[in-house]
Copies of this chain bind each other. A is one copy, B any other.
């Protein structure tokens, strides 16, 4: 049992151990640690779970090693199209955006949708008008430019392939399967849950493809009765399996614990349909589950004033 608690992820399907080196690892762990601290700062001063997950996701969006915000992958046309969602467990309030290109922090646009409109999901260029009219900070294309992402994109630009993040490490590298998304879930001292997710989607994506991230019930969900969840993985499978709400229903309707429900959905149901990825989840007691069926998942958590724990593969990393 925890009074407040927070978990984050920076994407499932990390770099294969054989492609990971110390300097990269330091960057990932630093990004995770900073995001946990951003969330902790909010929760420790009695802030809400919503404020905490937004703070943590903003920190991850600002870190260029993760595929969200600044580090977003390139689309087929060389732009960046980002999706984000936010949900509160107390009253099922939710906000989301899909296909926005100009905002520094898409999760803040999702929060504005939740707080300032009667709507849940705004898409495309018109969603950008909403964000600019509400004063959300924009960034020029060079803010999103990243040499590594650019090489990923150049390697497959002229094909019809789309690639999950990190799937192309370098043109000459083996085709690892990696998924880029960031997310956070939290319990606050008021007993409320919240979930937030943000992504740059798939490298070389076309046609306004949207994955599970901004879809309430698929990639993001929160309900004080059960849990708060943020997913990462091959989005199409997460949409078809309605992953986040499935975990909630297994708890509510079948009486499974958070751990049982998460494990069943990620390690059994998703595996059977070929859906690679993982999720982070928290229940009203502050229990945390972070299952994945890929080689690893950038992730971390803390409970109350205990130290941060961060992970890339099976075991905790030293920080």
Least CB distance, A200 to chain B, in whole angstroms: 15
Residue of B nearest to A250 (CB): B253
Q: B216 touching A122 by the CB < 8 A rule? A: no
CA distance A240 to B162 in the complex (A): 30
Residue of B nearest to A113 (CB): B207
Contact partners of A250 in chain B: CB under 8 A: 253
* Interface residue from B127, B209, B239 paired with A207 (Cβ < 8 Å): B127
Residue of B nearest to A134 (CB): B207
Q: Is A236 an interface residue (CB 8 A)?
A: yes
CA distance A118 to B274 in the complex (A): 13
Q: Is A45 an interface residue (CB 8 A)?
A: no
Contact partners of A174 in chain B: CB under 8 A: none
Q: Is chain A's interface secondary structure helix, strand, loop, or mixed overall?
A: mixed
* Interface residue from B129, B162, B245 paired with A217 (Cβ < 8 Å): B245
* Interface residue from B123, B246, B249 paired with A123 (Cβ < 8 Å): B123
Q: B210 touching A122 by the CB < 8 A rule? A: yes
**A-B contacts, 23 listed (Cβ < 8 Å):** A92-B273, A94-B239, A118-B162, A119-B209, A120-B236, A120-B240, A121-B211, A121-B215, A122-B207, A122-B208, A123-B124, A125-B125, A125-B208, A126-B208, A127-B207, A127-B208, A216-B218, A216-B239, A217-B242, A245-B245, A245-B246, A249-B253, A253-B254
